[in-house]
Chains A and B, each alone.
Chain A
Amino acid sequence: MTLSIAKSIMAKAISGWRQVGQRAGLAVAGLALGTHAASAQTPMYYLETFGPKGEITASLTWGLLAISVFVVVLMSVLVLVAIFRAKRLEPAELGSKLPVSHPGGGHRWIYLGLALTTAALIVMVVWTMEVLAEIDEPAVEPAFTIEVTGEQWWWEARYVDPDDPSRTFVTANELHIPVGEPVRIRLASADVIHSFWVPALAGKTDVIPGQINETWLQADRKGVYRGQCAEYCGVQHAHMAMRVFADPAEEFRSWWEHQLEPADTIPEDDELLRVGQEQFVLKCGACHAVRGTLAGGEAGPDLTHFMDRTTIAAVTLPNTPGHLSGWIADPQHQKPGNKMPNLDLSGPELNAIRHYLETLD
């Protein structure tokens, strides 16, 4: 009872301070990120969140931060007071008296300190437990699941419709979710330990080989939220990012419908595209799939609707003809150590493959 009262008082006191802090924090983040903020609408900023799961976690973050700052300030003040109030020994007293004495009576401070610390720690533990319990499951059962597999160094996403297995499809690195609905995320790893983190929506969940971990996401505002592997997983860990697009429900459903379709067939008379597709199947198809063609590889991202994605190589580069050309021609320079090899391509082959990829919308 007293605990919950203490907690609610603290929460109220914090909420005002939190808004001020958020503004200041955003300003600082904006300054620090500068131009990057423009390309990634939501940078890796976790103090401002956009969903029920994020909200409650952010409140806890701010609360624990406020308590910690208060404790640091209090201790600093006490130490300074002790320093300035300490009596200097007169020269005559030197030798006869110890520089530090125990005149007695200090025990009261120790008891008080212990009591305050214990109370604060109990509030923090209970609050944290409550938040953990509250974010464990969404308020309503999610309508579908995204099976996300962490791989060195990208994310595979398999959308699973629980009622109709034929409505399953695979994409990569850019998740789409409907605004205002919880979505279950089932996490697996293909190789080493990764961690799934979309800071504006939810905390981290580890992605562990041989184990399925579950989490859920909900965004209450339309937008693009950046995600990032949050567990060091090898040389390109920093280039293992993702984007989560929260779209209005209608838009999301039509996106799903579109993803189910195979790639468009290329026009018979387009020689460049014919060569492009042929070369793609021959040189890229062992690792990449384009549904509706002979390219059926599973080692790399499914590229059936590649042009729907705004970025390439797990949000390493924007998806523009220039970046795409450079990536296909020399992936080892852009993302050294990644699993995509530099291929033996001629200029015309590169040109044809890029043209073909640009038709995969």
Chain B
Amino acid sequence: MRSLKRFGAIAGACLLILAGCNGAEETSTGSDPQGDMARGAELIAAKGCGTCHEIPGIDGATGRVGPPLDHVGERMFIAGMLDNTPENMRTWLMDPQAVVPGNAMPDTGLDQEEADQVAAYLRSLR
């Protein structure tokens, strides 16, 4: 009986540890798609993407400088250069001048996590 209890306690502790690991993994890989998208939308507004682009779901994003971003999640290319994959979108958002030197889009100072969040929002525009 006592050994059963001890087994139970150890098993419980292991489960807790596993759960903890799992939780840590979740936040680092960003498997909170809703939260990422919401944060991405905030970043898009704060960085002024809408001054140049028309972006569904972002207040005042009516820009006519760059391409409209409706259905951007379904488009084949980014900037006519890269395949539209999450990794490429991150690269493009973080340093557009490296992808197409001299193009009109500025480096808006997004870090990797932020770029992924913006990409998550853009991917949802289908």
A325 lies within 8 A of B62 (CB): no
Nearest chain A CB to B55's CB is how many angstroms away? Answer: 12
A150 to B114, CA, bound (A): 40
Let me know if A145 is at the binding interface, CB within 8 A: no
Q: Which of A343-358 contact B (CB under 8 A)?
A: 347-348, 350-352, 354
A322 to B105, CA, bound (A): 8
Let me know if B69 is at the binding interface, CB within 8 A: no
User: Which stretch in B7-15, B29-37, B45-53, B82-90 binds the other chain?
Assistant: B45-53
Residue of B nearest to A275 (CB): B102
Number of A interface residues at 8 Å Cβ cutoff, please give it: 20
Residue of B nearest to A333 (CB): B64
Let me know if A307 is at the binding interface, CB within 8 A: no
* A326 partner residues in chain B, CB cutoff 8 A: 48, 50-52, 63, 65
Kindly identify which residue among A329, A348, A351 contacts B52, using a CB–CB cutoff of 8 Å.
A329
A350 lies within 8 A of B47 (CB): no
A326 to B46, CA, bound (A): 13
Nearest chain B CB to A272's CB is how many angstroms away? Answer: 9
A348 to B63, CA, bound (A): 19
In the complex with contacts A326-B63, A329-B65, A351-B97, A334-B104 CB distance below 8 A: no
* A350 partner residues in chain B, CB cutoff 8 A: 104
B102 lies within 8 A of A321 (CB): no
B109 lies within 8 A of A347 (CB): no
Let me know if A317 is at the binding interface, CB within 8 A: yes
A275 to B117, CA, bound (A): 34
A354 lies within 8 A of B106 (CB): yes
Let me know if A327 is at the binding interface, CB within 8 A: yes
Let me know if A203 is at the binding interface, CB within 8 A: no
B104 lies within 8 A of A323 (CB): no
Let me know if B91 is at the binding interface, CB within 8 A: no
Let me know if B103 is at the binding interface, CB within 8 A: yes
* B107 partner residues in chain A, CB cutoff 8 A: 321
Q: Which of A119-146 contact B (CB under 8 A)?
A: none
A347 lies within 8 A of B104 (CB): yes
In the complex with contacts A325-B52, A330-B63, A330-B64, A320-B103 CB distance below 8 A: no
A242 to B62, CA, bound (A): 24
A325 to B65, CA, bound (A): 9
In the complex with contacts A322-B52, A326-B48, A351-B63 CB distance below 8 A: no
B108 lies within 8 A of A320 (CB): yes
* A320 partner residues in chain B, CB cutoff 8 A: 46-48, 108-109
Residue of A nearest to B52 (CB): A326
* B50 partner residues in chain A, CB cutoff 8 A: 326
A321 lies within 8 A of B106 (CB): yes
In the complex with contacts A330-B63, A333-B62, A333-B63, A322-B104 CB distance below 8 A: no
Q: Which of A290-331 contact B (CB under 8 A)?
A: 317-318, 320-327, 329-330
B106 lies within 8 A of A325 (CB): yes
B64 lies within 8 A of A325 (CB): no
A325 lies within 8 A of B105 (CB): yes
* A334 partner residues in chain B, CB cutoff 8 A: 51
Residue of B nearest to A330 (CB): B65
Question: B51-78 interface mask toward A, CB cutoff 8 Å, 1 = contact, 0 = none?
Answer: 1100000000011110000000000000
Q: CB within 8 Å of A: which residues of B? A: 46-52, 62-65, 97, 102-109
